[in-house]
Amino acid sequence: MNILPPLKSTLKLTTLVVSVTLTSISTASAKDTGYIFVSSEKDNAVTVLDGKDYSVVKTIKTGDRPRHLAFNDDKTKIYAACGDGESLDIIDISKLEVIDKLDDIDDPEAFDFSPDGKYIYISLEDDGALGVIDTEKKEMIQTIEVGEEPEGVMASPDGKSVFVTSEVANMVHIIDTTSWELTANIQVGKRPRRFAMTPDNKELWVTSELDSSTSIIDTASNTVKEVVKFKPKGFRAEDVTPVGITMTKDGKTAYVAMGKANHVAVVDIASRKVKDYILVGERAWNAELNNDESLLFVVNGLSDDVSVIDTKKGKVIKSVPVGRVPYMALIDD
């Protein structure tokens, strides 16, 4: 039905440097280096910043156009989706270098691990499909056709389904992880991009870049129950293009990067009210909290820097230059 044979270019998943198998990773331990890892689309690199003074510790060369970054489950490695390199590069945090890669993935963009770590769900932008990679076999075991330009991917916490946005179909698709079938297509605001799940798993928030909004999906009924519109002062609706979203662990606050509007919205989750808009750099793209949630790192795609926000003060305390067209930050603390 909806299952397609894997596309030719997504078939071959080879290992360049077979050094560490994924099963043995669990024996290693997280380092909590305090480093901040930032992918830069046009530098083909991940910049590593010191967590205290934000100086550049190292620039790690990756495949072409690295975008989404994610830790493996014990935080010893970082996976980086390299869109033009057609690979998922695996960075060893203790070595600060690419030690392995999953090859021949056609234009990977965003991805998420299944809760048990067995699978990587990855949006294949050019193919209009979601790919499923078996992390142990290092094989693409499934591709599922969705709307064109899939972007945000999130595995449901119970492992039973995967959510994926289609920027072109204006939809969130839900895929069942046993049958690999589409079980729901939920229409949301235009050009949906990224997800955040409330800690109680009851609400899935999805940003819509062309609708200056976040749609809130009720996960019990798979329907949009509310929409939060963003209207930072002095900006017209067409300049408010939310993309990145992250939430605090207590489920009280969501931070949404406003894209072209150069601000981050601070949303009170319970009341749906935007409490504050914090000025950051140009084209605020993705936003990530550190572990104790005292700092928010906002990646600015058009000013090639990262804004570091003190979340208590609600102010930028530092702007750190990184590579060209930075996409996303990940904090190892």
Partner 1 sequence: MIKTMIREKLSLLLLSLTVLTVGFLLPVAGYAEPDAGKKVLNIGFVELKSDPRYKKKRVFARFMGQALGRPFAGAEVALKEIKFHGTELGLSFALQHVVAKKPEELSNKISELYTGGVRFFVLDLPANALAELAKTQREKDIVLFNTSAYETALRETQCQPNLFHTLPSHAMLADALGQYLISKKWRNVLILEGPLAEDKLLTAAFSVAAKRYGLKISEKRPFVLSNDPRERDKNNVALLSNGDHDAIYIADSQGEFARNTPYQTLKPNLIVGSEGLVASAWHWAWDRHGAPQLEKRFEKKHKRPMTNTDWAAWMAVKAIAGAIQSTKSTDVKTLSSYLTSEENLLDTFKGNASSFRPWNNQLRQPILLTTHNWVVERAPIKGFLHQTNNLDTLGIDQRNSQCRF
Give contact residues for partner 1 (rule: CB under 8 A): 1-3, 5-6, 11-14, 125-126, 128, 139-141, 146-149, 166-171, 176, 179, 181-185, 187, 190-191, 210-211, 236-239, 260
C-alpha separations of 249 from 72, 87, 90, 118, 191 in Å? 19, 31, 27, 25, 27
From the centroid of its chain, how far is CA 318? Answer: 23
Q: How far is the CB of 91 from partner 1 (least distance, A)?
A: 24
What CA–CA distance (Å, rounded) separates 187 from 133?
27
In the complex, least distance from residue 248 CB atom to partner 1, rounded to whole angstroms:
30
Give the CB-side neighbour count of residue 130, counting CA atoms within 13 A: 32
Q: CA torsion 57→63→64→68, rounded to 10°?
A: -70
Q: Which is nearer to partner 1, 49 or 261 (CB)?
A: 261
Q: Taking Cα atoms as reference points, which of 60, 90, 64, 66 lies closest to residue 78?
A: 90
Q: Whole-number minimum distance, CB 260 to partner 1, in Å?
A: 8
Residue type, 127: D
Place of tokens 């039973």: 160
Nearer to partner 1, 50 or 148 (CB): 148
Q: What is the closest distance, in whole angstroms, from the C-beta atom of residue 291 to partner 1 in the complex? A: 33
Q: What order of strands is seen across the sheet that includes strand 171-176?
A: 150-155, 161-166, 171-176, 182-187
The DSSP code for 8 is H
Min dist CB 183 to partner 1, Å, is 6
State which residue, 12 or 31, has the beta carbon closest to partner 1.
12
User: Would you say 73 or 126 has its CB closer to partner 1?
Assistant: 126
- Token pair of 137 as six digits: 């076999």
Q: Pick between residue 131 and residue 309 the one whose CB is nearest to partner 1.
A: 131
And the tokens for 109?
């963009």
DSSP letter at 149 equals S
Residue 58 or 231: which CB sits closer to partner 1? 231
Instruction: Report, in Å, the least distance between residue 11 CB and partner 1.
Output: 5
User: Shortest Cβ distance from residue 3 to partner 1 (Å)?
Assistant: 6
Length of the chain in terms of residues written: 333
Helix (H) or strand (E) holding 10: helix 8-11
Question: Nearer Cβ to partner 1, position 25 or 210?
Answer: 210
